[in-house]
């Protein structure tokens, strides 16, 4: 055989082998995805229970210092703003506390919601400031401002990222691969912008809203460790036992 033809034949053979190898990999992946059992909610709706409650702040809440937005004319013209570290209602309810089931679910697996969680950069602040998400669930990070932001995640258990969003309307979608409470975000352009996400393998989490109220619904009966986390005041836990179709009320009290 002519050396050139021999070379071409070898090249063709090599390509075929590589192609087969790659195809094989894809096929395995495809097979694996076919054989993986879809995760369904393991909680029997007939016995599902709930834990509800309220987070309160005892003592005089420290003032939220004003934010100097002078480094960005766009943010500056939005008007005066303060940090939202202590958002307290008239009856001492404390907002933005992440409440979740820390322990007690054993090896139960829960389906990942198909709808994404949205973290918006609006008015030169993050909205929401504190939120939860499940491992594998999409997080859409959008920029609604007419200025640019960078979204810098500072995880311990997940992969760090830092993405720039220079134009209004830009969106970046990501997921987290490991549970982590709490995972902070910051904007290095605007130092005052901070947010925290609790990444969990289950859907039993809530963020205290107005008057400090929260609800963890759809839980299977059992004994749970419930944790409440606040960005400045730290975390508190308590044990709660609930029976079938029971709704139990608990409270967390943070002191300043």
The smaller minimum CB distance to another protein, of residues 45 and 73, is found at 73
Q: How far apart are CA 111 and CA 134, in angstroms?
A: 9
Q: How far is the CB of 149 from another protein (least distance, A)?
A: 9
Q: What does DSSP assign to residue 82?
A: B
In angstroms, what is the minimal distance from the CB of 77 to another protein? 12
Closer residue to another protein in complex, CB, 55/148: 148
Sheet order of strands, 139-143 included: 125-127, 117-122, 139-143, 171-174
Please tell me whether residue 162 binds another protein under the rule CB under 8 A. Answer: yes
Q: Which is nearer to another protein, 103 or 160 (CB)?
A: 160
**Cα of 21 vs its chain's centroid, Å:** 38
* Proportion of the chain in helix, strand, coil states, percent, rounded to 5: 15, 40, 45
Neighbouring C-beta atoms of residue 128, cutoff 10 Å: 15
Q: Which is nearer to another protein, 102 or 190 (CB)?
A: 190
Residue (190 or 230) nearer to another protein, CB: 190
Asked if 152 is part of the footprint of another protein (rule: CB under 8 A), the reply reads yes
In whole angstroms, the minimum distance from the beta carbon of 141 to another protein comes to 13
Q: Which of 166, 173, 238, 241 binds another protein (CB under 8 A)?
A: 166
Nearer of residues 155 and 203 to another protein, judged by Cβ? 155
CA contacts within 13 A on the Cβ side of 215: 7
Nearest-5° Cα angle at 169, 121 to 80: 35
User: Which of 150, 174, 175, 236 is in the footprint of another protein by CB under 8 A?
Assistant: 150
Residues 162, 164, 170, 174: what is their CA dihedral angle, to the nearest 10 degrees?
Answer: -10
Choosing from 121, 134, 147, 158, the residue that interacts with another protein (CB under 8 A) is 147
- Biggest CA–CA distance in the chain, Å, is 92
Q: Which three-class secondary structure state does DSSP give residue 46?
A: coil
- Binding residue for another protein, selected from 31, 68, 71, 168, defined by CB under 8 A: 71
Neighbours of 122 (CB within 10 A): 13
- Per CB under 8 A, 81 contacts another protein: no
Site residues (CB under 8 A) for another protein, limited to 95-134: none
Please report whether residue 45 would count as binding another protein according to CB under 8 A.
no
Is 146 an interacting residue with respect to another protein (CB under 8 A)? no
Binding positions for another protein, rule: CB under 8 A: 71-75, 147-148, 150, 152, 160, 162-164, 166, 187-191
């Amino acid at each position: 055989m002519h050396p050139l033809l021999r070379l071409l034949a070898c090249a063709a053979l090599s390509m075929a082998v590589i192609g087969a190898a790659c195809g094989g990999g894809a096929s395995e992946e495809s097979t694996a995805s076919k054989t993986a059992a879809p995760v369904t909610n393991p909680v029997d709706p007939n016995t599902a229970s709930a834990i509800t409650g309220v987070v309160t702040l005892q003592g005089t809440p420290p003032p939220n210092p004003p934010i100097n937005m002078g480094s960005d004319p766009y943010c500056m013209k939005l008007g005066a703003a303060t940090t939202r570290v202590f958002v307290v209602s008239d009856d001492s309810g404390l907002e933005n506390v992440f409440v979740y089931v820390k322990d007690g679910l054993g090896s139960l697996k829960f389906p990942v919601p198909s709808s994404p969680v949205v973290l918006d950069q609006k008015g030169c602040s993050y909205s929401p400031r504190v939120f939860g998400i499940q491992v594998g669930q999409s997080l859409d990070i959008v920029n609604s401002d007419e200025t640019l932001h960078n979204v810098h995640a500072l995880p311990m258990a997940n992969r760090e990222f830092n993405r720039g969003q220079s134009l209004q309307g830009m969106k970046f979608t990501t997921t987290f691969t490991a549970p982590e409470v709490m995972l902070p975000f910051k904007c290095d352009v605007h130092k005052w912008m901070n947010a925290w996400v609790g990444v969990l393998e289950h859907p039993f989490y809530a963020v205290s809203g107005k008057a400090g109220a929260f609800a963890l619904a759809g839980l299977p009966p059992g004994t749970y460790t419930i944790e409440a986390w606040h960005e400045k005041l730290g975390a508190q836990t308590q044990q709660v036992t609930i029976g079938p179709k029971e709704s139990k009320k608990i409270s967390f009290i943070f002191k300043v």
